[in-house]
């Protein structure tokens, strides 16, 4: 199979260890087993699902890591990332992520609680939100593939990760002509606006 996803691409036009990339979990609904089990349950849509994680580069429009195809109920986002993403990271590296990855900022840069956030922490929260919004378009592009949904996927669950990997590689190809918005200019613009308003 053609493999276009490379973890080292997170350093394209980006040298920061913190954050080095953005990771997020994405669930896909699958048919319920004949015997219901909470291990399969996805809180995102109240149904059986398989969970994956996708990490994207910050300096370019590339997916840099995919993993998963595991039962949603057994594998929260943080557990999956600790099992699959963290072992690939170098010392001192942290991935940016949403609050589902809170680990005391040990390996993940997540937003600070709003109530007691300092001005710098509020700025970081704002930038994490921007990076997360950029990443969400990857999840949306993946969900455009109907073959990953229970409605169309008619094979055993063990084949779902194969299909997911193929779709992720197609999204990677698509980003050559339809890239994500450039993050560095967007961050610069956001910082200038915050300075102007004294936030």
pLDDT above 90 covers what percent of the chain? 69
Q: Where are the alpha helices (DSSP H) in 103-182?
A: 119-143, 160-174
In a domain, 1, yes or no: no
Q: Which residue has the tokens 């910050």?
A: 58
In a domain, 77, yes or no: yes
In a domain, 184, yes or no: yes
Residues 6 or more apart from 196 whose CB is under 8 A from it?
Answer: none
pLDDT in tens, 160-186: 899 999 999 999 999 999 999 999 899
Pick the closest to residue 55 from 46, 66, 44 (CA basis). Answer: 66
In a domain, 41, yes or no: yes
Lowest-pLDDT range of 30-44, 48-62, 123-137, 177-191: 30-44
Structural domain of 99: 7-197
In a domain, 11, yes or no: yes
| Backbone angles phi and psi of 141, in degrees to 5 | -65, -40
Residues 6 or more apart from 109 whose CB is under 8 A from it?
Answer: 18, 19, 94, 95, 96, 97, 124, 128
In a domain, 168, yes or no: yes
Pick the closest to residue 161 from 49, 31, 52 (CA basis). Answer: 52
**Reported pTM:** 0.91
More confident residue, 38 or 81: 81
Strand partners, 51: 27, 70
d(CA 138, CA 140): 5
Banded pLDDT at 122 (limits 50, 70, 90): very high
Banded pLDDT at 198 (limits 50, 70, 90): low
pLDDT score of 1: 55
In a domain, 181, yes or no: yes
Q: Is the peptide bond before 127 cis (omega within 30 degrees of 0)?
A: no
pLDDT score of 158: 85
Number of domains observed in the structure of the chain: 1
In a domain, 2, yes or no: no
Banded pLDDT at 87 (limits 50, 70, 90): very high
Q: Is the dihedral of CA 34, 37, 42, 45 positive or negative?
A: positive
């Amino acid at each position: 199979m053609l493999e276009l996803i490379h973890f080292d691409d997170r350093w394209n036009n980006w040298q920061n260890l913190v954050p080095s990339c953005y990771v997020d979990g994405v669930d896909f609904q699958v048919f319920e087993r004949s015997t219901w089990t909470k291990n399969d349950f996805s809180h995102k849509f109240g149904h059986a699902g398989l969970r994956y994680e996708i990490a994207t580069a910050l300096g370019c429009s590339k997916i840099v890591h995919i993993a998963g195809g595991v039962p949603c109920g057994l594998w929260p986002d943080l557990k999956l990332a600790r099992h699959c993403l963290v072992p690939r990271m170098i010392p001192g590296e942290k991935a940016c992520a949403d609050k589902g990855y809170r680990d005391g900022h040990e390996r993940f840069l997540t937003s600070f609680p709003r109530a007691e956030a300092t001005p710098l922490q509020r700025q970081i929260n704002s930038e994490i939100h921007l990076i997360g919004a950029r990443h969400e378009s990857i999840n949306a592009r993946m969900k455009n593939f109907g073959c990953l949904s229970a409605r169309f996927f008619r094979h055993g669950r063990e084949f779902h990760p194969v299909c997911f990997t193929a779709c992720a590689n197609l999204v990677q190809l698509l980003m050559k002509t339809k890239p994500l918005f450039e993050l560095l200019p967007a961050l610069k613009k956001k910082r200038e606006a915050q300075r102007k308003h004294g936030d």
